[in-house]
Structure 1
């Protein structure tokens, strides 16, 4: 579907669609948004790959959102792409109609699995210059064909663990379709049709962990595993598979019950076993070249009149693996292991990855990521594709088809999803992805935070945050990036995302996924109720934050906030960093260093170099403020905050060690009206100017 190998300059051609039928319903009020998104596409002519029924091209819309467009290989659109496409003969026209039917069948099957993580998302079916096309997700990734050389090797082939891990990933994806009303048989599995997604985890990281993110592409040969009839059969299109990996029954039409045999998941078992055989040994089971079918007169006879070459184990411990692979390559379909038996057999040879291990799909205690609502709706879209094919000769209108310059009929279903997507995919919306922070619920943000927390590395965490639009393409926090919050006192403030995997959770389980700070005051208070000769730990404001302050937050947010560890000067007057200690915090005030970063000792006068150790020891700068280049030496417009609509000073939790010493009472630092993070310290119990409270929190 997509390979991230650099490409040469391309020819870009405008595709203006005459009609487009969405894979999920769209609110009639939002049709114009959907038309702009899907019906005007700039297609790159050279970013293409051959599929079973046609070509896959990269395209983008006016919002620079990328798609994959699948068209027929004999499509007259190829002329627009600079190919020499002669006029069709009568026989070729009949075949083109049959190929159109097959493309509808592929669309129907894509709709069935579009919401499953191991398959491409599909957006819809349309026409351009009267020719059919499917609009799909453009997959960022690397094919197994290209990734094979990166896998750990043992002699001519990859290690047993590597081959088994690939097999488990692919079989797990196929088994996930068993949660559908009708499971799916791919029927053309090959190293070129197995992609590893790299948008969340790079291929090198997947290879290192032997934990893969597969996406099965080119569904042109796929069929539902149940039932006795298909659109493809009625249209008299008989799809074959890649000969080097295909089961014998996929390579002939001349044996009894062939249609039933070709609809069995055992077809995919044979193909996966052939792929793993090649990975492990360095050659295919019958030493048949992948792309040179003309050198073999009949692959069916080759595979039925000969036994595959025995798979030689690299070492004694691998013999059971070799035997398992060979058991899947027998001619008699009924004698092969089932998909689940093959999967469970391979698990014994895949590395134990703990919580990140490939789980057995379909079991009640191992749920897979399927949105039940999306399942029902894509089944409706798939059934409608069947009706569309039957009306193809008449070019009939459909309930969800957009016609340029026309008016669409009424729709039912997801309603406001069209508006909520704001320029990204409806299937993305079904996967819980929104266009901005404010579009998420707090429960959804907690789920994202947990995914970020569970990431194996900061790089993986950033990829997750990018996927959910919490970081931009450059890895930066969008500014402003806020979610509106109505407090129980009636004030409305913004919760501003300031950090990703920054704060240590109090329970010791790692770092909180997301950290927020409000962008305006939630209260106006003194830091201490009475004069103190102590530090932040004894301030009344700290206790207020975790009690009455927390009660100002709406229930749906308050219930999700996680306690974290915060380091503070809990002594007050001090001349070394020994005054610093750790305290639990739910709502907390930022330290100076968390806003402006470290300050070198030389930035203080000679007798006060020790201040740097104390101030810098209270934490580290949050990502947002680092990207905003907040300075400790000047005013900062981006830190100007308000209390009830007027610019205000706001508290830091950073005590002032030197002024507290000279006065014999506690002085606290704060951010000034002008955003100066090192404004003159003021008495905690009687500040010289009214000072508001702007806390942060983690979920």
Structure 2
């Protein structure tokens, strides 16, 4: 029988291919073993979130909804996300405070406030009913405006402690524009602060301010010593746009027909502060007023800085 040479080469090739297949399988198994385990807690958490009414969400769930609204590509799509998840302008829920009292939390805006880190808009802007009675300052002065006020410091400490921990820990800092001088006619006195808890401005509640024009006219006249009082309206109007809730309710500087600004503390009607300083002084020694809503709900009145009034808090998620 003739001898067949060359059979060793195919055998070696088969052995080599087998080794390569084995190595590939071993490497794949190694990668699988090293891969991180799935975050089962996160999967369970995300799958557990389902649309509810605003008042039914816990604070973590509401924060997730607010983040989805914030991450929407546009304001219109953000509003659609809010509607999909059962959140609308004007929705309310009870807000238990750490001192045993109960306030109310209301949705006043969707994607209205600029996040302090510049990443976009906060998903939800919320407003409490009065959580305390406090003065704006320890003395009768509006010098330094909102930025230098005692109540701003109080909100960052004792005021924050009144809120439920689950809510306070989720609040995001936003940018607020305010006259931070006090008595001034310069619109450049409106500067930005970064705040987690804040008071609403006159313009954020009442819209475009025309109080000085209504009282003194919009023309420079001899009887007003040739003072252009409309610059004060421009100053006050630069402190933020009116929130959608107050637009819907038809609130102006002179009218709150729906009664949405008539608020109570401890079962009694109370006036409540805006962060807006009264920017004009008649005598030079009366620079001690901030604007506030009256206990009747009338939108624009003045309160002396060292007198206690209701603290209505704005915050964002």
Tell me whether 1:465 sits opposite 2:82 in the alignment.
Answer: yes
**Cα-Cα RMSD:** 2.5
Q: What secondary structure, in the 3-state scheme, does the structure 2 residue paired with 1:657 have?
A: coil
Kept in 1: contact 2:49–2:61 (CA 8 A): no
The equivalent residue for 1:650 is 272
Are 2:314 and 1:691 aligned? no
Q: Indicate whether 1:572 and 2:194 are aligned.
A: no
- Provide the rounded CA distance (Å) in 2 between the counterparts of 1:442 and 1:660: 47
Alpha-carbon distance, 1:625 to partner: 1.0
Q: Distance in 2 between matches of 1:673 and 1:582?
A: 29
Residues 123-138 of structure 1 aligned to structure 2 (within 5 Å): none
Residue 485 (structure 1) aligns with: 95
C-alpha separation between the residues in 2 aligned to 1:550 and 1:559? Answer: 10
Equivalent position to 2:59, from 424, 437, 442: 442
Q: Which of 541, 562, 572 does residue 172 from structure 2 map onto? A: 562
Aligned to 1:614: 235
* 1:635 Cα deviation after fit: 4.2
Change beyond 3 A, Cα 1:582–1:486: same
Aligned residues: 270
Match of 1:540 among 141, 147, 150: 150
1:677 counterpart (271, 281, 299): 299
CA 1:463–1:573 in 2, change beyond 3 Å: closer, same or farther?
same
Distance 2:309 2:49 in 1: 43
Alpha-carbon distance, 1:367 to partner = 8.1
TM-score normalised by L of structure 2 = 0.79
TM-score, length-scaled by structure 1? 0.37
| SS of equivalent residue, structure 1 residue 517 | strand
Give 1:510's match in structure 2, choosing from 110, 113, 120: 120
Deviation at 1:676, TM superposition (A): 1.5
Map Cα deviations across residues 337-390 of structure 1 (whole Å, 9 max, x no partner).
Answer: xxxxxxxxxxxxxxxxxxxxxxxxxx969989x965999xxxxxxxxxxxxxxx
Could you tell me which of 178, 200, 208 is aligned with 1:598?
208
- Which segments of structure 1 move beyond 3 Å, counting only runs of 4 or more? 363-368, 370-375, 600-604, 659-664
Quote the residue 1:633 is aligned against.
Answer: 254
Q: For 1:659 and 1:635, locate their aligned partners in 2 and report how far apart those are by CA, in whole Å.
A: 27
1:465 Cα deviation (Å)? Answer: 0.5
5+ residue gaps, structure 2, are 1-34, 218-227
* Residue 659 of structure 1, CA deviation: 3.7
**Aligned equivalents of 1:646, 1:374: Cα separation in 2:** 42
Map 1:200-279 → 2, pairs under 5 A: none
Cα deviations by residue, 1:152-186 (Å, 9 ceiling, x for unpaired): xxxxxxxxxxxxxxxxxxxxxxxxxxxxxxxxxxx
The answer on 1:522 being equivalent to 2:131 is yes
User: Counterpart in 2 of 1:242?
Assistant: none
Q: Which whole-Å CA distance do the structure 2 matches of 1:374 and 1:570 have between them?
A: 42
**Measured at CA, do residues 373 and 498 of structure 1 come closer, stay the same or move farther in structure 2, by a change above 3 Å?**
closer
- Distance in 1 (alpha carbons) for counterparts of 2:115 and 2:125: 11
**Higher RCO structure, 1 or 2 (CA under 8 Å, sep 6+):** 2
Unaligned runs of 5+ in 1: 1-362, 376-429, 472-476
